[in-house]
Structure 1
Amino acid sequence: MTGVVVGRRGRRPAGGGVPLTFEVIAEAVRERIRSGGLRPGDALPTQAVLMREFGASSLTVQKAMTLLKQDGWAVSRPGKGAFVAHHDHADDLDGPDATAPLCGTAARVEALELALAEAAQQIADLRGRVEVLEAGGGERGR
């Protein structure tokens, strides 16, 4: 079975026909990034927003987001949402590399760095709470 893509409504020849809705959504988001409407680090539109904008189901929007993440255009921050991935040439989104996102290992490293930074902040917050409790002993009885 060569040259076949499994899509929303079954199979279709690769490269043929009209793009599926999730592909249209992913391309629209990529275009917003390329044009500078969404910058590296910006939050991507929520699932609900994309569902309304494109008249799509939640599964279709999830597939679009998965595609963006796999291709290195977006990263997830647990509990925070999805964000535009940082590109090697973030200031040159209109240049020849405008369609080349940070991919593969580099995108995974970035996602791990973001998760690590968030975890470090949570640890710092917890340390602060512990210090307050130890200094004043105020909330220990709860």
Structure 2
Amino acid sequence: MTTRRGRRPTGGGVPLTFEVIAATLREQIRSGRLKPGEALPTQAALMREFGASSLTVQKAMALLKQDGWAVSRPGKGAFVAHHNHPDDDDDPGSPNAETASASGTAVRVEALERALADAVAQLADLRVRVEVLEAGNSEPGR
């Protein structure tokens, strides 16, 4: 059977490397080895540990963030999210499962708000720099 690179063979039950990385980190979070707010291993460390490419590690991190297990802090790295995780609860109809799902959304919104606030601060800083440069070029004799 021939498969295209990066795709799971039809009927194949073997997890892809990025899924293995994400599952390993998820289990470390569940077990308490990685605690809420704690930094996740760096991309370089995960590449070494799993013998994976940077793209594979990025896919694993994207999966963790998408599922609400991790959040990014621009310029700081990825961190364990501060909430209960949707797949911690085996009963999807339980109140805890609903709270966890809502909490995952809240974490994503919070991360987006932080990223937006950082971008606004950077824009304000750039605006000040441009104004200073323009003021310097508007002196008489220039």
TM-score of Structure 1 vs Structure 2, range by shorter chain:
0.5 to 0.7
In 2, Cα distance between equivalents of 1:7 and 1:28: 25
In 2, Cα distance between equivalents of 1:115 and 1:65: 17
Q: Hey, what does 1:112 align to over in structure 2?
A: 112
- The answer as to whether partners of 2:68 and 2:81 remain within 8 angstroms in 1 is yes
Matched to 2:17, the amino acid is T
Is 2:6 the partner of 1:12?
no
TM-score w.r.t. length of structure 1: 0.63
In 1, Cα distance between equivalents of 2:113 and 2:18: 28
The percentage of counterpart residues that share the same residue type is: 73
TM-score w.r.t. length of structure 2: 0.63
SS of corresponding position for 2:71: strand
In 2, Cα distance between equivalents of 1:80 and 1:86: 16
Q: Hey, what does 1:68 align to over in structure 2?
A: 64
Q: Hey, what does 2:42 align to over in structure 1?
A: 46
Deviation, 1:76, is 0.6
Deviation, 1:56, is 0.6
In 2, Cα distance between equivalents of 1:65 and 1:7: 23
Question: C-alpha deviations, 1:24-81, integer Å up to 9, x for none?
Answer: 0000000010000111110000000000001111111011001001111011111110
Q: Hey, what does 1:130 align to over in structure 2?
A: none
Q: 5+ unaligned residues in a row in structure 2: which ranges? A: 91-95, 126-142
- The answer as to whether partners of 1:8 and 1:20 remain within 8 angstroms in 2 is no
| Equivalences, count | 111
In 2, Cα distance between equivalents of 1:80 and 1:109: 18
Deviation, 1:118, is 6.2
- The answer as to whether partners of 1:50 and 1:56 remain within 8 angstroms in 2 is yes
- Compare the two structures and name the one with the higher helix fraction: 2
CA RMSD across the alignment: 3.2
Query: Runs (4+) of structure 1 moved beyond 3 Å?
Result: 94-98, 112-120
Change beyond 3 A, Cα 1:11–1:20: closer
SS of corresponding position for 1:25: helix
Q: Hey, what does 1:35 align to over in structure 2?
A: 31
Change beyond 3 A, Cα 1:24–1:11: closer
Matched to 2:74, the amino acid is P
In 1, Cα distance between equivalents of 2:5 and 2:32: 30
